[in-house]
Structure 1
């Protein structure tokens, strides 16, 4: 799972050394993390449209649609979406999201049959207006429920003004759709969601053609190249706001949409279109996920070095689990965020158990050594108590598993583990599949029954984040905390006895304010020898790793070399 939260690379002398070159996929992650999801999707759709126009203008004969018709539907559909969104913003006194409207207009242009006649353009306008209006009319407490483009396509289909021809589903455009859409799916970590829909949809479509008497080769080819499957899966199904928050839920919804979309081939359900099937899936996802736009009111903020630690009070309970993340909208970023390719939304790990009623978010202000904070970061740092942010979505599957576990975080990557630890300390830490991870004591109170080792690699004292609970509280049975600091610095940060990487004791003054529950170890957390000393039985544990792309690669390698067979990763991308 990958999310666009910051984690600068450490210096060679820091706990993340030695530096390793990034793998191609990690380099891709690092690049994609610098662009907002809306702008990435818009760019991907632009690639598909550009390829379509190039094929038409080149007169290759592979696309039989007029270039002017494609451009006209794109322009009118986009204007219709923008107009309806603008009106909705005025009525609700909210700020319209322009990038979202541009994405919707591009999707409509790739699905509605192109043309320049009045009826076709009127249909494009109606589809765009319906899509834009749905963000406000079909919304629940500030959060739209259904994919806007799908709503627009269904509405215009009912009017008969335009046809959802899904002309993008052709062999000529399949490579562009697959590559551009594949980048989007990789960025959102929705590949399994895409496959959960695309595989059964392809199989059912091919079987449906066979039942209609189509030859086997043709049935397979048409199901792959002459159907909405690829485009719907990569560009519409994966919309974050209408996706279920958990992986098992996404697999269920993907399969459901596939069955419904293919049903007309087997049943006399001509009314059931792919876009309507997607809407049904959106409705199911809505019931499974965040049902309202939660507001977060700032209670307190602490800035240590360039690490900002926020505690916020939610307007209503956040339906999330420790290890998940939230996407927040930061309106205080204002006009400056318009010029930021990442926009004014950010995805941040929850650093507290949502059941506590306190939402804790931690971020680093700079994205790299010496870099200026982004407009969103500056706005977050300038927040005053009482000011509000908005949660637009919740997601992630980086949950605490059952059984012995090692949590290894590099730098700011420790944040999801703080939420895990908070859940364990509070007695609410749950493992997937119903394992609660807690037991009842004789006095009826919950007592932790987890075997958890948290290892945190830091560069400086400022990188050591506040632990859940009070510093004087004893840790639950079975929980250990190990802080890995650069060589020669243990005495300056330790609250007690500190061990050096060579096995000796590092002397020096006690660190001011450091939580005494940490065991301090010198060295680099990415060094297998140091990691092995921190967790001697690492190979017998499920290992969860979080941090920057470089540190995750190095930590995974170190864990594997120590015999860990189960390593799960959560990569934090730079701002």
Structure 2
């Protein structure tokens, strides 16, 4: 039963973007609060909640439209709605004209911050946090952080865990919660507060889980490297759990997050690139390569990924932003993107990619990924790729060829169709530098001449082709089901977790 439930959750998460998942979660949470407000669970009526929500949504929408036009940057409605709904949960619904003015100003500031408080088209601060920070600084209004009690706890916990699992940042949340709890308890002891009440407030009657899962994890304003994510979580945890003030600035959740955002900016990729589309190449019946102009200043490691934004009308449930590995190597003059596209069943994002015109602009940001070559060049490696999961290995193969860098690498490249094997020329050239490729055809191999392996990649095949497999590090890239299947196989072969590296590959 548990295995079946886990499988269903994974399938759901692989079929939706993080942004759309966040939006659905916030809408569901709002619906719960609306119902509870009818029964007077919260200190406001359902009419106040509805009216204030509409006011914030309109404020955010209009302001974002205006600044999008001024700065000539495509508007992203998902982001607008997410920021607006977060603000709804931070400020109490308006009951007077001044309170209404406050929430409208907060909504406008949140959207304006994305354009004004930005460097190289990358905004620095969490929009909702910086909005309530500025309003409090000038005494225009304050965040009450009213969301978070025994009634909303289950929804926030379940929705938050799904989000953290989707973007693989659960360790970041746990690190923050542990440090925050220690800091809060320490100050509680110093101030001789009631410890049981403090513990209850931390666990149940506080917005800390909402803060952790919704605001702390925002990809654009938090670090992309795991080590930096933990440091970021610890820093924000200490600040959020402490009690301090510097002039008019007091220790609040928004203050802690903003200071953390500044740290994140300096340790992360600091640009949002505007790439110009140059060419589309159909490499197989359903695999395409898209080539974009590359800025001269672009630096990355082979195997890393970008978050790609392709604006288009009527986006489906997966939205206008997707994560894809960079297929090109840092040594190339263009940025290449390899994508599997089913022209009939493909997402609106992929259809928009197919319909790009030469010279059209797309956006790429959040450069990240730990699926990179080890610094130790003598370390022996095994790559296992399924389908379009080959793209990071194309980047690596091209890189070591251009750099003439000797490595001991064995690549198992599996596909269900003979014509779906791509980048063969790249891997052929990489052979000279120790990069051996073994093609594995899993289906449709009857009545055809095939020199590679036929059928699934098994433990016996690995043992035969890689006699020293026990001393190697394995890299897995492909659909999540395939990756999980091979992780299980490798563990049965005695390969420990620290020798298994998986790509962040959140669905096709």
Segment of structure 1 superposing worse, 285-294 or 393-402:
393-402
The equivalent residue for 2:484 is 553
What whole-Å deviation, never above 9, does each CA across 1:345-382 have from its counterpart, x for those lacking one?
2211112323434322111112xxx8433332223223
Q: Distance in 1 between matches of 2:247 and 2:68?
A: 41
Q: Distance in 2 between matches of 1:88 and 1:266?
A: 33
Q: Which one of 414, 423, 426 corresponds to residue 466 of structure 1? A: 423
The equivalent residue for 1:482 is 438
Give structure 2 stretches of 5+ with no counterpart: none
1:10-409 alignment, distance < 5 Å: 24-59=5-40, 61=41, 63-264=42-243, 271-303=250-282, 304-331=284-311, 334-335=312-313, 338-366=314-342, 371-401=344-374, 402=376, 403-409=379-385
Give structure 1 stretches of 5+ with no counterpart: 1-20, 428-445, 499-519
Compute the RMSD of aligned alpha carbons. 2.6
Answering whether residue 389 of structure 2 is matched by residue 413 of structure 1, we say: yes
Q: Is the 8 A contact 1:47 1:180 kept in 2?
A: no
Q: Distance in 2 between matches of 1:453 and 1:256?
A: 41
Segment of structure 1 superposing worse, 230-239 or 206-215:
206-215
Q: Is the 8 A contact 1:48 1:177 kept in 2?
A: yes
CA 342–473 in structure 1, closer or farther in 2 if over 3 Å, else same: closer
Q: Distance in 2 between matches of 1:327 and 1:40?
A: 16
Q: Is the 8 A contact 2:245 2:251 kept in 1?
A: no
The equivalent residue for 2:503 is 570
**Deviation at residue 567 of structure 1 after TM alignment:** 2.2
**Deviation at residue 472 of structure 1 after TM alignment:** 5.1
Q: Distance in 1 between matches of 2:153 and 2:249?
A: 25
Q: Is the 8 A contact 1:145 1:283 kept in 2?
A: yes
What whole-Å deviation, never above 9, does each CA across 1:142-183 have from its counterpart, x for those lacking one?
222211111111122123232211111323322221111211
Q: Distance in 2 between matches of 1:487 and 1:198?
A: 47
**Deviation at residue 266 of structure 1 after TM alignment:** 9.5
CA 281–468 in structure 1, closer or farther in 2 if over 3 Å, else same: farther
What whole-Å deviation, never above 9, does each CA across 1:443-499 have from its counterpart, x for those lacking one?
xxx632x3321111112232212157584564213x3211112478499576xxx3x
What whole-Å deviation, never above 9, does each CA across 1:179-211 have from its counterpart, x for those lacking one?
112111111112122222222112211221222
- TM-score, structure 1 normalization: 0.81
CA 141–573 in structure 1, closer or farther in 2 if over 3 Å, else same: closer
**Deviation at residue 247 of structure 1 after TM alignment:** 0.7
SS class of match (1:264)? coil
What whole-Å deviation, never above 9, does each CA across 1:267-301 have from its counterpart, x for those lacking one?
99862321122112112212222222212233432
SS class of match (1:209)? helix
Q: Distance in 2 between matches of 1:322 and 1:490?
A: 36
CA 379–202 in structure 1, closer or farther in 2 if over 3 Å, else same: same
SS class of match (1:321)? coil
Q: Distance in 2 between matches of 1:292 and 1:45?
A: 28
Q: Is the 8 A contact 1:545 1:567 kept in 2?
A: yes
Q: Is the 8 A contact 1:202 1:229 kept in 2?
A: no
Number of aligned pairs?
501
CA 293–572 in structure 1, closer or farther in 2 if over 3 Å, else same: closer
**Deviation at residue 341 of structure 1 after TM alignment:** 1.1
Q: Is the 8 A contact 1:317 1:357 kept in 2?
A: no
Q: Distance in 1 between matches of 2:443 and 2:317?
A: 38
Q: Is the 8 A contact 2:398 2:430 kept in 1?
A: no
Q: Which one of 448, 453, 469 corresponds to residue 538 of structure 1? A: 469
The equivalent residue for 2:456 is 524
Q: Is the 8 A contact 1:119 1:162 kept in 2?
A: no
Question: Which protein is richer in helix relative to its size?
Answer: 2
CA 57–227 in structure 1, closer or farther in 2 if over 3 Å, else same: same
Segment of structure 1 superposing worse, 343-352 or 129-138:
343-352
Q: Distance in 1 between matches of 2:163 and 2:502?
A: 19
Q: Distance in 1 between matches of 2:57 and 2:443?
A: 57
What whole-Å deviation, never above 9, does each CA across 1:394-425 have from its counterpart, x for those lacking one?
22222233422211111111222222333333
SS class of match (2:80)? helix
- TM-score, structure 2 normalization: 0.91
